[in-house]
Amino acid sequence: MTKIIDLEIQEKVYKKKKSYISILNNFKIEVSAGEKIAIVGKSGVGKSSLLNILGLIDRNYTGTYTLFGLPTDKLSMKDLANWRNEKIGFVLQESALINSLTIEDNIKLPLLYSRSSDNKSKLLNFENIIRAIDIDSILKKKPLECSGGEKARAVFARSIIMNPSIILCDEPTASLDIENREKIIDLLFKMNKEFNTTIITVTHDNEFANRHDKVIHLERRK
Ligand SMILES: Nc1ncnc2c1ncn2[C@@H]1O[C@H](COP(=O)(O)OP(=O)(O)OP(=O)(O)O)[C@@H](O)[C@H]1O
Ligand SMILES: [Mg+2]
């Protein structure tokens, strides 16, 4: 199996005036294409911080990160932006939808920024996604008119519309009822099967975590 993620963090520090916090000390992770990894651990241990580093959102840490065989510190800003848009799907904990756009336009936003035209696939066109997670009825609404669970599903749809190689999920099922939780999990694992999509999920949901190939327990070392 091809190794696509090879990350070694010495330390991630958050510094503010008087506070100093050091997390993810000597943390290593290797992931092969198509692997499903769950990340669990107590609140504040650094799970979201880790996803930000994996997703190239945060590059302010000591360590080395090789992604798709390339050292990420060598990537240009342009490459970074493209990789974030086309190769990495990010399902954020707080849904960052744009309030002035409809749900449909929010979901289709990554397509606007895309350079490539070959990223369409049978399963992953817009209609298939919205059908799979049942959000047809909210497409014309704006985010502020939607419930938390509806927004969570819209965020999910937006993050997979480019058919990324890696999907990073930060508690994707936290605000969902059982039925919608199943729909998201099904679609996630279906993408994994069909496209060999690598899935990295942060979750407090044990049952969901145990359906991944590997569960990584994050702990505070200092
Ligand atoms: N931007 C920031 N500035 C300062 N400290 C931060 C920042 N972001 C996170 N932290 C701190 O870093 C630690 C790890 O935060 P992180 O959000 O990664 O935790 P988490 O494991 O995702 O927690 P949760 O399960 O509650 O989402 C926490 O102590 C948090 O307060
Ligand atoms: Mg978090």
* Averaged pLDDT of the chain: 90
pLDDT of residue 166: 96
What are the chain's domains?
Answer: 35-59+74-217 (3.40.50.300)
State the average pLDDT over residues 141-168. 91
pTM above 0.85, yes or no: yes
Does ligand 1 come within 6 angstroms of the Cβ of 14?
Answer: yes
Q: Which residue among 17, 40, 49, 216 has the greatest number of ligand 1 atoms within 8 angstroms of its CB, and so is best to mutate?
A: 49
Residue % of the chain over a pLDDT of 90: 60
Query: If DSSP states are collapsed to H, E and C, what string results for the chain?
Result: CCEEEEEEEEEEEEECCCCEEEECCCEEEEEECCCEEEEECCCCCCHHHHHHHHCCCCCCCEEEEEECCEEHHHCCHHHHHHHHHHHEEEECCCCCCCCCCCHHHHHHHHHHCCCCCCCCCCCCCHHHHHHHCCCHHHCCCCHHHCCHHHHHHHHHHHHHCCCCCEEEEECCCCCCCHHHHHHHHHHHHHHHHHHCCEEEEECCCHHHHCCCCEEEECCCCC
pLDDT of 118 over the 80 cut: no
Centroid of ligand 1 to alpha carbon of 49 (angstroms): 6
Mutate-to-test residue for ligand 1 from 15, 18, 22, 23, highest number of ligand atoms within 8 A of CB: 23
Instruction: Give the pLDDT confidence of 75-100 residue by residue, as tens digits.
Output: 998 989 888 888 999 887 666 899 99
For 41-79, how does the pLDDT look when each residue is reduced to its tens digit (9 = 90+)? 999 999 999 999 999 999 999 999 999 999 999 899 898
